[in-house]
Amino acid sequence: MRKSWIYILECSDGSYYTGCTTDLVKRIQEHHEGKYEGYTAGRLPVKLIWKTEFRSLDNAIDAERQIKGWSRKKKEALMNEDFELLHELAQSKEMRKRRKDREP
CATH number at residue 4: 3.40.1440.10
pLDDT in tens, 21-36: 999 999 999 999 989 8
- pLDDT of res. 94: 64
Whether 34 and 78 map to the same domain: the answer is: no
Whether 57 and 80 map to the same domain: the answer is: no
pLDDT in tens, 45-101: 999 999 999 999 999 999 999 999 999 999 999 999 999 998 888 876 666 566 667
In the chain, how many domains are there?
2
Whether 60 and 89 map to the same domain: the answer is: no
The residue range of the domain holding 78 is 71-104
- pLDDT of res. 11: 96
Is the sign of the CA dihedral 33, 2, 87, 83 positive or negative?
Answer: negative
Whether 56 and 84 map to the same domain: the answer is: no
Separation of alpha carbons 97 and 92, rounded Å: 9
- pLDDT of res. 37: 87
Whether 10 and 56 map to the same domain: the answer is: yes
